[in-house]
Amino acid sequence: MNTVQLGPVGRVSRLVLGGGGIGQVWGAVDRAEVEATVRSALDGGIDVLDTAPMYGNCERLIGEMFAGALPAGVRITSKCQLGSPPPGEVGGRLQASLEASLSAMRLGFVDVFFLHSSIAADGYAYAHGDGRRDEFSTRWSLYVDEVVPALERLKTQGRIGHWGITGIGVPQAVLAAIGHDPSPAVVQAIANLMDSAGGIRRFAEPARPREIIAAAQARGLGVLGIRAVQAGALTSALDRPLSPNHPDARDYERAAGYRALCAAWGEDPARAAHRYALGMEGVDALILGVKTRDELADALAAEAAGPLEPAQLSAIEALGLRG
């Protein structure tokens, strides 16, 4: 497994095992298979586990598997889906979320703690779900006045090594957070050949993920790519039932030409999508959404194969799938 510098965090494996698959967000998997997948990931050279309390039983499973003693060299991350609580409550909520995650995992420290909410300007109106925006979106004034100071305190207290943001919010606000001091150490950003966040995008304007990645890189921040296969849209078949109008289902239909290209190359679409994402400028490491050893093996093979050939990249870009 190749390694890379993840901003100020240090060197990490180019692949990160995401907690969504472990926690069965992407479909039910037998407990024994989940544990075997985690151990196979570590045996394959992956040295970062990306967890969150909203990923089902992911954090509890980590606690039960390792009993508070992660293998040497393995880093752990967690998240808080804060939203916009009343002023004065941010610090307490962030700390409570962290403590609950640490308790579940039987740990005393996480390497990176992410604000997992979208970030948007005060008064911003979302195109989708605006009536619930305080549940999933953190207002800019709250971010600056309370979130950043609270995360810096957790760092000073030694409860976290670094903090980061999940950069799927309104692009202008995400870019502002990257440019703000103190800045996050790590940004999670959309990294796929469609530049699509699919069903987790709630705003109408262009997502601008490559601009976000470039801005983070320019500031020396770490970049973790997410949704390399766009929630299954860039695989051979969706693994769960979706309405034809669901954004992920629409992306799957739009990607028919991509699957045809992969068939002509004799390349599995998911493997090619991972190779594409790993080759994107500014993406340090890629968070996997795998849930079985077979899916993990494909991702490991993609990392070992390296980036796609220039002719393949040109053929993909010619499909016009971005945006």
Neighbours of 253 (CB within 10 A): 9
| 14 vs 283: CA distance, rounded Å | 9
Rounded CA-CA distance 207/190 in Å is 9
CB atoms within 10 A of CB 279: 15
Average pLDDT for 214-231: 97
Tell me, what's the pLDDT at 28? 73
The pLDDT of residue 27 = 65
Q: Domains in the chain, please, with CATH?
A: 3-317 (3.20.20.100)
In this predicted structure, the answer to whether residue 291 has a pLDDT above a threshold of 70 is yes
Q: Read off the pLDDT band of 323 (50, 70, 90).
A: confident
- What is the mean pLDDT of the segment spanning 306-315? 97
φ and ψ at residue 251, rounded to 5 degrees = -65, -40
Per residue in 127-182, pLDDT (tens digit) is: 999 999 999 999 999 999 999 999 999 999 999 999 999 999 999 999 999 999 99
pLDDT single digits (tens) 6-24: 999 999 999 999 998 887 7
pLDDT value, residue 239? 79
Segment 80-115, tens digit of pLDDT: 999 999 999 999 999 999 999 999 999 999 999 999
Residue 26 has pLDDT above 70, yes or no: no
**Angle, nearest 10°, between helix axes 269-278 and 293-305?**
50
Check whether 56 has a pLDDT greater than 90.
Answer: no
Q: How much is the average pLDDT of 33-58?
A: 95
What value does the mean pLDDT of the chain take? 95
Q: Two tokens at 222?
A: 């770490």
